[in-house]
């Protein structure tokens, strides 16, 4: 559709500097126009798919349309749902802004920020007024930093609808606690939020007690001890195990639950676990390799760490694991070794050759464990729900489809229904 303004990459080498600037400008405008057409097409598809009688279904027409759009754009259903919200907001709440996008005069990122910041405005008259203000101001906003842009948008919203800004600020200042950030490094997960002050005081006191309970030979910094104490609290413990190298330290004898709460499910060869803890990781020089057979099984309600089903060919056999109930977060080899060294249970799953087809509908316990460990998450495209909480379903309806590793897979409840639901 936009081939006339989007030249081939191979032609750029022969273009002059001014031509390149024109190409950048033209492609930016073409991209904005394409986004407007894409969002309008998404809204049109949604209008054709929606059926009022299905509005209260657990897997309704919105979910089905989001799945269809997600497949078309190769994005998750959640992101597709966000695209549907954006398209509807430009049609119903900010139509003049939508026309500016369709004219290629404003980037979709800027429009998305405005729509998000104004999400709490509900008065139609205020929306119409803001739509006009934004259209007049938006051309100058493209040069602003993200923070200044948000401030400028909020200033206009506050002028016409102070309650909306107050609601937004109240929401931002409310209690919250979030785990994980896109910038997290492997093996580390960010935690940030706002606690009620009395709760924060309780936590500060508890952490102070726990970090002081280890002996002075514990090699960890105070920051590391506080972080580890939070893990112990999450495991249901109010004590922190000491990591000193002395044999008579009473604090070293206690189990703080940070490792023993996990059970490592081994799909690859057991020798894949023969990595050593990294003494530099936590300043701990004392790890020794445990005997996995001695470990006790852990409660099934705890998250299970599952190793990567594809064994590494590296001679060191430094195999990482993933935690399927926590977004398939990767547990790097040294951290996996440390978990095992400090009490994580180890269970070797049955070899795939030993799992044969059965005549029954329900998979055996061994086959159930193997399929959940293999799939890790719901198999629906873009879905991250953990396989440990999913249903196991036949790819081909039973009895035509065999109850065999090749014939069954994991789907979360919602996508299991969606698979069987005709639109």
Per CB under 5 A, does 195 bind Zn ion?
no
Per CB under 5 A, does 244 bind Zn ion?
yes
Instruction: Supply 161's token pair.
Output: 């609808």
The answer to whether the CB of 381 falls within 8 A of the CB of 371 is: no
Q: Output DSSP code: residue 291.
A: -
For 193, list phi and psi in degrees, rounded to 5.
170, -170
Pick 251 or 268: Cβ nearer Zn ion:
251
314-333 binders of Zn ion (CB under 5 A)? none
For 209, list phi and psi in degrees, rounded to 5.
-65, -45
Q: Supply the minimum distance, in Å, between the C-beta of residue 423 and Zn ion.
A: 17
Instruction: Supply 120's token pair.
Output: 């709490």
Per CB under 5 A, does 388 bind Zn ion?
no
Stated as kind and residue range, the H or E segment containing 172 is: helix 162-173
3 state SS of 46: helix
Size, binding site for Zn ion by CB under 5 A: 11
Largest CA distance in the chain: 78
Per CB under 5 A, does 415 bind Zn ion?
yes
Q: Supply the minimum distance, in Å, between the C-beta of residue 84 and Zn ion.
A: 18
Per CB under 5 A, does 410 bind Zn ion?
no
Query: Exactly one of 39, 168, 378, 386 binds Zn ion (CB under 5 A); which one?
Result: 378
Q: How far apart are CA 288 and CA 274, in angstroms?
A: 11
Pick 59 or 383: Cβ nearer Zn ion:
383
Pick 247 or 422: Cβ nearer Zn ion:
247
Looking at the DSSP bridge assignments, the partners of residue 203 are none
Per CB under 5 A, does 249 bind Zn ion?
yes
Q: Supply the minimum distance, in Å, between the C-beta of residue 67 and Zn ion.
A: 10
Per CB under 5 A, does 211 bind Zn ion?
no
Per CB under 5 A, does 46 bind Zn ion?
no
Per CB under 5 A, does 242 bind Zn ion?
yes
Query: Exactly one of 383, 386, 387, 392 binds Zn ion (CB under 5 A); which one?
Result: 383
Q: Output DSSP code: residue 358.
A: B
Q: How far apart are CA 34 and CA 22, in angstroms?
A: 18
Instruction: Supply 152's token pair.
Output: 């400028």
Pick 83 or 418: Cβ nearer Zn ion:
418
Q: Supply the minimum distance, in Å, between the C-beta of residue 5 and Zn ion.
A: 40
Per CB under 5 A, does 412 bind Zn ion?
yes
The answer to whether the CB of 390 falls within 8 A of the CB of 412 is: yes
The answer to whether the CB of 329 falls within 8 A of the CB of 305 is: no
Q: How far apart are CA 240 and CA 224, in angstroms?
A: 12
Pick 307 or 382: Cβ nearer Zn ion:
382
Per CB under 5 A, does 210 bind Zn ion?
no
Per CB under 5 A, does 241 bind Zn ion?
no
| Interface positions with Zn ion (CB under 5 A) | 215, 242, 244, 249, 252, 378, 380, 383, 385, 412, 415
């Amino acid at each position: 559709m936009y081939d006339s303004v989007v030249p081939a990459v191979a032609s750029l080498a022969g273009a002059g500097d001014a031509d390149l600037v024109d190409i950048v400008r033209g492609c930016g405008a073409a991209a904005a126009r394409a986004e407007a057409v894409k969002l309008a097409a998404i809204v049109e598809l949604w209008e054709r798919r929606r059926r009022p009688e299905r509005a209260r279904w657990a897997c309704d027409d919105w979910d089905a349309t989001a799945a269809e759009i997600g497949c078309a754009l190769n994005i998750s259903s959640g992101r597709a749902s966000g695209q549907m919200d954006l398209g509807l907001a430009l049609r119903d709440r900010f139509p003049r802004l939508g026309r500016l996008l369709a004219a290629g005069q404003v980037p979709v990122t800027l429009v998305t920020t405005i729509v998000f910041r104004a999400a709490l405005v509900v008065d139609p008259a205020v929306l119409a007024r803001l739509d006009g203000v934004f259209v007049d101001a938006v051309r100058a906003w493209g040069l602003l930093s993200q923070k200044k842009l948000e401030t400028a948008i909020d200033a206009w919203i506050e002028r016409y609808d102070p309650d909306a800004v107050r609601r937004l600020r109240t929401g931002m200042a409310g209690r919250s606690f979030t785990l994980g950030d896109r910038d997290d490094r492997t093996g580390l997960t960010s935690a940030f939020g706002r606690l009620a002050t009395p709760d924060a005081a309780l936590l500060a006191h508890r952490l102070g007690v726990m970090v002081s309970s280890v002996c002075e030979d514990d090699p960890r910094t105070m920051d590391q001890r506080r972080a580890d104490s939070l893990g112990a609290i999450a495991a249901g413990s109010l004590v922190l195990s000491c990591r000193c190298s002395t044999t008579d330290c009473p604090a070293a004898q206690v189990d703080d639950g940070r490792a023993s709460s996990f059970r490592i499910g081994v799909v690859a060869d057991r020798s894949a676990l023969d990595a050593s803890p990294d003494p530099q990781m936590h300043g701990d020089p004392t790890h020794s390799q445990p005997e996995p057979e001695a470990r006790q099984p852990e409660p099934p309600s705890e998250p299970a760490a599952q190793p990567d089903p594809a064994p590494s060919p590296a001679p060191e056999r430094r195999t990482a694991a993933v935690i399927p109930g926590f977004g398939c977060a990767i547990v790097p080899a040294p951290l996996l070794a440390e978990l095992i060294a400090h009490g994580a249970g180890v269970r070797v799953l049955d070899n795939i050759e030993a799992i044969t087809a059965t005549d029954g509908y329900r998979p055996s316990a061994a086959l159930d464990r193997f399929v959940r460990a293999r799939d890790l998450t719901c198999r629906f495209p873009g879905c991250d729900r953990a396989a440990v909480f999913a249903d196991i379903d036949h790819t081909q309806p039973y009895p035509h489809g065999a109850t065999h590793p090749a014939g069954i897979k994991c789907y979360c409840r919602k996508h299991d229904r969606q698979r069987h639901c005709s639109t």
